Structure 1
Amino acid sequence: MPNQLQYETSPYLLQHAENPVDWYPWGEEALTKALEEDKPILVSIGYSACHWCHVMERESFEIESVAQVMNDHFVCIKVDREERPDVDAIYMDSVQAMGVQGGWPLNVFLMPDAKPFYGLTYMPQKNWVNLLYSIQAAFAEHRADLAQSAEGFARELNLTDAERYGLSQNEPLFSAETLDVLYRKVAVKADDEKGGMRRAPKFPMPSVWRFLLRYYDVTVASGVENEAALHQVKITLDRMALGGIYDQLGGGFARYSTDADWFAPHFEKMLYDNGQLLTLYAEAYSLTRSPLYKHVIYQTINFCQRELLSPEGGFYSALDADSEGVEGKFYTFTTPELKEILGIDFDWFAELYSITEAGNWEPDHEGHGLNILHRTESDDSFAERMGWSPADLNVRLDATHTRLLRVRNERIRPGLDDKILCSWNGLMLKGLATAYRVFGEPEFLTLALRLAFFLMKKMRDNRNGRLWHSYKLGRARQTGFLDDYAAVIDGLLALYQATFTESWLTEADQLMQYVLTNFTDDHVDELTGADPMFFFTDKNGEELIARRKELFDNVIPSSNSMMAENLHALSLLLDRPDYAERADQMLGRVQPMVQQNADYLTNWASQFALRARPTAEIAIVGPDAEQFRAEIDAEFYPNKVLCGTTDKSELPLLQQRGPVEGQTAIYVCYNRACQLPVTSVADVWRLVR
């Protein structure tokens, strides 16, 4: 019989709905049951595209005898970490406080009052059953000790950031010297030969490379160009785009590479990675004009449109790593398959994509060698070596890719996680808007506008202005978290600057005001004063055992670092000194942490790079406003905000400004001090550079 997960919409929870384990979703029913029956709680957290989550389900959760032990002694709760990042974050923090390296599946044992006392990640069936019996015995015989331990972890979770990290209120120092310190902290861990950081597995980590782009721009402006910083960005983006982590046939990036060479991916594809990487590659293209980066952007947007776009305009969350229960089966080829499909084109194709007779990756279950398509050589270099023109190579690549895709598309596809997450769609909105600003491709703007309308119509509660976190089957659910607001505001600000449609700026400000009302910490510490950082959860949301703040940047930048960036941009576009003051307070509070651990706070570091010199406020007024906007956006200059109108506007930067002698005028200001208007983009660059 299906368990209580049958009534959920999360694909991950529904995957477990027919397990013999009596799973409950996180909620009042399960938590009350634990208290009434006086049983410990097992919270098992994962997500639909998680390979080892599937393995543990097959080995343990689908087995009647294992489920019987779990049902007899525990109240079992399944959590989709993507749907409930607040629950995941609290229990991930607790497990790491226990000295366990985090990951998923995350299995945490709680007292009946939901306080954690033990946790772990994946465990094979035999060990898992033994652990269940040990936990049950400890709960029966040493309950007081477990309760004391749980109280200690709960206290740790409720420490303030000032207590945990020694934060105090400082005046932020925006200087080239500070920036050099941050750069060295990151650069010393970067892999100058293979790109990424010097470790395996390797994650894309877009915020790291966006920081280095901004740092490089500052060094150019100061006349001491740091070529090493740009090299670290380019080698990373080149190797990722040519490696197995990138789907060479269909576009789109996998979540990470299991090795140091970007060769063997963990094949799941996540919307949050691809949205952020669109922004990164578009910015890098505007600086380098690399044809490879343009190819990646167009192909990745095509992938997202083809495989992740919902009919309503929002984007689904992820594609599974597995198909038919085998990781990577959809994406890999045996050598005999490739020979049959490609015929006379096999030899050069095999050389370009490092195909071997025995397979370049691990064999399948039948012992056939599998190949991951990956490259180490650029198009130009390979074409020259083969005696072809670049155009000849492109024709050959298009033909072979088309044949291989035709075969691949007939295979059983990886599972689709078809819930729509607000925060991840905000990241995608920023990626699409940035790609449009750089390339001017109308289709990119069409997708961005559809997505923005979807978010504002389907994922916002018009009764109170708040966002919903998750959407599926016409139903929005779960009060939005800080990262939902941070990512959507960022996306809306990019869309406004791409279109000069003022309603998007208004929507962004309304969401900001909601955050300031409902996510602010009202507690005032005697030593540190009021904390300018925001809570991760809405004060109107569910109350958990701790209310935390997200500070560290990870594969997705922290919600507080994105909010500080949003506050700064809005302060300039709307002339809101109070927003600027809040942003400066946040940067001042976090600066000691950033100087110590810049590699874990790279989105914060990016803001120190942007603030090392005044932000250019560029206002465009006149009939050619869109053309001038496109010319400005085509060049890499991250330290700016743009606003414009073809006629008149009441926005602060546009008030009482108009064309000059009938010509579209561009007004450049710094720190509320304006230069004389100019009538060409060339003149703008003379002013800002």
Structure 2
Amino acid sequence: MSKSQKHTNSLIHETSPYLLQHAHNPVDWCAWSTETLERAEKEDKLLLVSIGYAACHWCHVMEHECFEDEDVARVMNQHFINIKIDREERPDIDHIYMDALQMMTGSGGWPLNVVTLPDGRPFWGATYVKKEQWIKVLEQLSQLYKKDKARVLEYADQLTQGLRSINLIPSPEKDEPIDLEELKSAVKNWSQYFDTFLGGYRRAPKFMMPVNLDFLLHYGKLTGDSEIEDYVHTTLRRMAYGGVYDHIGGGFSRYAVDVKWHVPHFEKMLYDNAQLISLYAKAYAATGETLYKNVVEESIAFVCRELRSPGGGFYSSLDADSLDTKGVLKEGAFYVWKEEELRELLKGDFPLFADYYNINDYGLWEEDLYVLIRDASREEVANKHGLTKEMLDQRIHACKEILLAKRESRSRPRLDDKILTSWNALMVKALVEASRYLDNDTYLNMAMETTEFMERSIVSEDGSLYHNHKEGKSTIAGFLEDYALLIDGYIHLYEVTFTEHWIHRARELTDHCLDHFLNPAGDLFFFTSDKEAVTVRRSVETADNVIPASNSVMATNLYRLSLLFPDRNYDETASRMLRTMRESILENPNSHAHWMHLPLYNSYSFREVVITGESANDYRKSLQHHYLPNTLFAGAVQKGSLSLLRDRIQKDKTLVYICEAGACKLPVSSPEEALVQLQAGG
């Protein structure tokens, strides 16, 4: 035990920053493991499972009030075996107990606290609980188990049956694909909730939901629905103008607590920023809007400056809280400004900056603190101050440089420096898409570095993946989300390089999923591999949320891979998955947006763009600047093994073939001619 610490528990041996934060609590915490459950059963002791994550504000509050308190620890240690879980490390356990909490209480959140039988079956749950109430309820639960175990066992058994039943997807009434009219009807019903003035939904808090916006951008492009397109771009613009976007350092916070995207919950997550980089890059390709390009560049700069590891991987998150000027831990202290501080730093440029970022009643947060928010366009501010847009941009950029330098001297938010496969895969895809749509090879090189880091660090000897990595250690077997998102990243990497290694890696990982994750019915994938021990149930993740569901990503992966490997029957599995999910998708499109790309693939012409010859990469770059969501690119300069390339490579010619379902039109010899074909009929 460290001389400076009164207590040390077994979490000291973990690598997760969230678990290590609790390593010196007086609570005798354990990490989740088979050994811990076996010990609980042997001692017939209840489990107290507490789940949170490093950037969770209320997790820190409950730790300070309860888990650092010796009176609380006495009760917990006497009556329970206490398990602390980082939800980002163990989403499999989090899924089960979050479902249990929602069944018991009707709501969820973190910290997520459940009391379970020694075998892990839950029977009580809550989120944040104050000290006095926490002690009282734990003593009551302990006594109940001792005096009326049969009642506890009966309730736990009923709850377990419920947890298993909600994991089952009912058979659809229609065993057929979703057609375009059904899809349009679902989007129309969904759109009733859209805030067409401020973007997002008509409520607070407001989450960015890049999964939903990505689908709606795709949908608007193909259907020509101008109202949907306007809604998407209103949302993207308002988010980029809002305080939820870090105007000084780049990148997005997790969500806004108000309807105008002004005051964020200040934690910054890798998965949000990765997906938003992808989304804004596509939106830039679709519109040429400079604002979108700036968001992409500034957000990548943020991620690289504050979340990139020396080895090329990306860390998970930054906390919302940091020390203010008085040394008090406060949410947002790193990011907010006082007017007098801005006046002192910016001097003669302050009036311009104040107009641009609303250092006024509109931008005031609380006390005398401002969160920067834009409301007027560049043109409006430039005209008001008698400037050209270029002059305005130069002066605002200079102000931001001054403030960024000042901010770097402040006490920094805590960093969660674990590296997660799934979130890094999202970042690989983000860098690939930024490279593609902004024509920046630096981003592609970074994507390659991250992918090579992952190949070294999270791939085991048998070719399977790990979920986590830190300080040279990878300890948790990969979940379906890790495979699905990395396969997606590999497909995109192949499309912008034509390096076949990446598409073959995608195929290998897909085959592994088919062997070890697909359920016996063959219609959906389990979240955990058949090689792993299961508590309560093997979950099936189907709802798209802040990250797309692992099953919806697998379905789109299988569709795209079937075009490159037609002999593998991947399309049959993808079609079966979509038919299984049809009612869930149509009844609740808000929670199944990523799934809905597939009906768009099926309803409009989906083209394979095959480019061969000595200038293949130049032609590819020329075409890939455009937003062409219903396409898959393949190609080679001299040789390629994919069936789409067979007999299509000529020595001294560069040719572009536009194909559908493997049947190709006569080749054209310029990107311009190919683009005409691609933009005709969807």
TM-score bracket for the superposition, by shorter chain length: over 0.9
Tell me, in whole angstroms, the C-alpha distance in 2 between the residues paired with 1:592 and 1:77.
38
Cα pair 1:562 1:603 within 8 Å, conserved: yes
The within-5 A match list for 1:563-574 is 563-574=554-565
- Which residue number corresponds to residue 673 of structure 2? 683
1:686 is displaced (CA, Å) by: 2.6
1:302 is displaced (CA, Å) by: 0.8
- Determine which of 197, 203, 207 is the counterpart of 1:203: 207
Q: Secondary structure at the match of 2:365?
A: coil
The within-5 A match list for 1:543-582 is 543-576=534-567, 578-582=569-573
- Which residue number corresponds to residue 526 of structure 1? none
- Determine which of 597, 607, 616 is the counterpart of 2:607: 616
Deviations 1:509-545 (A, max 9, x none): 11001101110112xxxxxxx2410000011123222
Q: Secondary structure at the match of 1:361?
A: strand
Is 2:342 the counterpart of 1:334? no
Cα pair 1:279 1:435 within 8 Å, conserved: yes
Instruction: Output the amino acid matched with 2:513.
Output: V
Deviations 1:214-243 (A, max 9, x none): 111221xxxxx3110101110111011111
Deviations 1:450-505 (A, max 9, x none): 011111121111x2110000000011110000000000000010010011011011
Tell me, in whole angstroms, the C-alpha distance in 1 between the residues paired with 2:136 and 2:369.
37
1:631 is displaced (CA, Å) by: 1.4
- Which residue number corresponds to residue 4 of structure 2? none
Q: Secondary structure at the match of 1:649?
A: coil
Cα pair 2:487 2:506 within 8 Å, conserved: yes
- Which residue number corresponds to residue 490 of structure 2? 492
Deviant stretches of 4+, over 3 Å:
168-172, 356-359
Cα pair 2:18 2:54 within 8 Å, conserved: yes
Cα pair 2:26 2:70 within 8 Å, conserved: yes
- Which residue number corresponds to residue 69 of structure 1? 75
- Which residue number corresponds to residue 468 of structure 2? 470
Is 2:91 the counterpart of 1:90? no
- Which residue number corresponds to residue 597 of structure 1? 588
Tell me, in whole angstroms, the C-alpha distance in 2 between the residues paired with 1:611 and 1:455.
33
- Which residue number corresponds to residue 651 of structure 1? 642
- Which residue number corresponds to residue 366 of structure 2? 362
- Which residue number corresponds to residue 177 of structure 2? 173
- Determine which of 25, 34, 42 is the counterpart of 2:31: 25
The within-5 A match list for 1:232-243 is 232-243=231-242
1:36 is displaced (CA, Å) by: 2.5
Deviations 1:308-352 (A, max 9, x none): 111111100001111122111111111221121111222221222
Instruction: Output the amino acid matched with 1:100.
Output: G
Paired residues in the alignment total 668
Instruction: Output the amino acid matched with 1:518.
Output: H
Cα pair 2:319 2:415 within 8 Å, conserved: yes
Instruction: Output the amino acid matched with 2:319.
Output: D
1:134 is displaced (CA, Å) by: 2.1
Instruction: Output the amino acid matched with 2:149.
Output: R
Deviations 1:100-127 (A, max 9, x none): 3111000001011211001111112222
Tell me, in whole angstroms, the C-alpha distance in 2 between the residues paired with 1:188 and 1:316.
37
- Determine which of 218, 221, 231 is the counterpart of 2:222: 218
Cα pair 1:245 1:265 within 8 Å, conserved: yes
Q: Secondary structure at the match of 2:646?
A: coil
- Which residue number corresponds to residue 222 of structure 1? none
Instruction: Output the amino acid matched with 1:508.
Output: A
Is 2:24 the counterpart of 1:34? no
Deviations 1:234-279 (A, max 9, x none): 0111011111111100001111111111111111110001111111
- Which residue number corresponds to residue 120 of structure 2? 114
- Determine which of 5, 29, 35 is the counterpart of 2:11: 5
Q: Secondary structure at the match of 1:669?
A: strand
- Which residue number corresponds to residue 16 of structure 1? 22
Identity among equivalent positions (%) equals 43
Question: Quick one: structure 1 residues 502 and 169, their matched pair in 2 at CA, closer, same or farther if it must change by over 3 Å?
Answer: farther
Cα pair 1:94 1:116 within 8 Å, conserved: yes
Is 2:253 the counterpart of 1:254? yes
TM-score computed with the length of structure 1 as normaliser: 0.95
Is 2:550 the counterpart of 1:516? no
Q: Secondary structure at the match of 1:19?
A: coil
Cα pair 1:335 1:356 within 8 Å, conserved: no
Cα pair 2:178 2:579 within 8 Å, conserved: no
Question: Quick one: structure 1 residues 339 and 390, their matched pair in 2 at CA, closer, same or farther if it must change by over 3 Å?
Answer: same
- Determine which of 663, 674, 679 is the counterpart of 2:653: 663
Tell me, in whole angstroms, the C-alpha distance in 2 between the residues paired with 1:531 and 1:665.
39
Q: Which moved more, 1:481-490 or 1:165-174?
A: 165-174
Cα pair 1:117 1:150 within 8 Å, conserved: yes
1:97 is displaced (CA, Å) by: 1.3
1:92 is displaced (CA, Å) by: 0.5
Q: Which moved more, 1:567-576 or 1:475-484?
A: 567-576
Is 2:446 the counterpart of 1:453? no
Cα pair 2:355 2:381 within 8 Å, conserved: no
Tell me, in whole angstroms, the C-alpha distance in 2 between the residues paired with 1:203 and 1:480.
27
- Which residue number corresponds to residue 366 of structure 1? none
Tell me, in whole angstroms, the C-alpha distance in 1 between the residues paired with 2:507 and 2:103.
37
Instruction: Output the amino acid matched with 2:444.
Output: L
Deviations 1:353-379 (A, max 9, x none): 12138971123xxxxx21111111222
Tell me, in whole angstroms, the C-alpha distance in 2 between the residues paired with 1:173 and 1:533.
15
1:142 is displaced (CA, Å) by: 2.6
Cα pair 1:210 1:606 within 8 Å, conserved: no
Instruction: Output the amino acid matched with 1:475.
Output: K
- Which residue number corresponds to residue 417 of structure 1? 416
Instruction: Output the amino acid matched with 2:145.
Output: F
- Determine which of 191, 196, 208 is the counterpart of 1:192: 196
Instruction: Output the amino acid matched with 1:669.
Output: C
Tell me, in whole angstroms, the C-alpha distance in 1 between the residues paired with 2:222 and 2:393.
36
Question: Quick one: structure 1 residues 624 and 544, their matched pair in 2 at CA, closer, same or farther if it must change by over 3 Å?
Answer: same
The within-5 A match list for 1:269-418 is 269-324=268-323, 325-356=329-360, 360-363=364-367, 369-418=368-417
1:159 is displaced (CA, Å) by: 2.4
Cα pair 1:158 1:546 within 8 Å, conserved: yes
Deviations 1:420-457 (A, max 9, x none): 00000011111111111111201101110001111112
- Which runs of 5 or more structure 1 residues have no equivalent in the other structure? 220-224, 364-368, 523-529
Tell me, in whole angstroms, the C-alpha distance in 2 between the residues paired with 1:531 and 1:178.
25
Instruction: Output the amino acid matched with 1:241.
Output: A
Tell me, in whole angstroms, the C-alpha distance in 2 between the residues paired with 1:272 and 1:201.
19
Cα pair 2:221 2:229 within 8 Å, conserved: no
TM-score computed with the length of structure 2 as normaliser: 0.96
Deviations 1:401-435 (A, max 9, x none): 11111110001110110000000001111111111
Question: Quick one: structure 1 residues 544 and 291, their matched pair in 2 at CA, closer, same or farther if it must change by over 3 Å?
Answer: same
Cα pair 1:179 1:215 within 8 Å, conserved: no
The within-5 A match list for 1:625-640 is 625-640=616-631
